[in-house]
Amino acid sequence: MIDKELRTQIIEDRLTKKRTVAQLTAEYGVSAASISRWTVEYLRKHDAHDLSDLATSTDQKLLKLREENEKLRAENEGLRIQYDTLQKLLMDIYNMNSSHVNLQSLPDATI
């Protein structure tokens, strides 16, 4: 487990010194995925919308994908709620219509 001070140092090296993930991985023995994740979390926490501050296009892509993923999750939830509401409405209409059907008034199905 990396302590908070070392993690902060890695993030600062990444952003202010423009060191690559490969350099930091070699120096600190931390995975590239962890460094990228920490960088993105830091930028999101500090509301860093200026993607030019990011050292590589990989971090830019990761941040954009995470933002898009959140947006799509919210849209999906909205669509699920609309679907559930429509399904309930259709069932209510179906039940209302079927309760008014007089089975004796239906024509014979004999051929």
Express each pLDDT in 2-51 by its tens digit.
Answer: 888 999 999 988 888 888 889 999 999 999 999 988 988 888 887 655 54
Measured CA to CA, the distance from residue 13 to residue 23 in angstroms comes to 10
Residue 110 has pLDDT above 70, yes or no: no
Task: Parse the chain into domains and list their residue ranges.
Answer: 4-100
Mean pLDDT, to the nearest integer, of 53-73?
78
* CB-CB contact of 40 with 62 (8 Å): yes
At residue 83 the predicted structure's pLDDT band, cuts being 50, 70 and 90, is very high
Contacts 24+ apart (CB under 8 A), 37-42: 38/7, 38/10, 38/11, 39/11, 39/14, 39/15, 40/66, 42/11, 42/15
**Is the full-model pTM beyond 0.75?**
no
* CB-CB contact of 24 with 13 (8 Å): yes
Provide the residue type at 69 as one letter. Answer: N
Percentage of the chain modeled with pLDDT above 90: 33
The pLDDT value given to residue 98: 75
Instruction: Report which DSSP code applies to 107.
Output: P
Mean pLDDT, to the nearest integer, of 62-77?
89
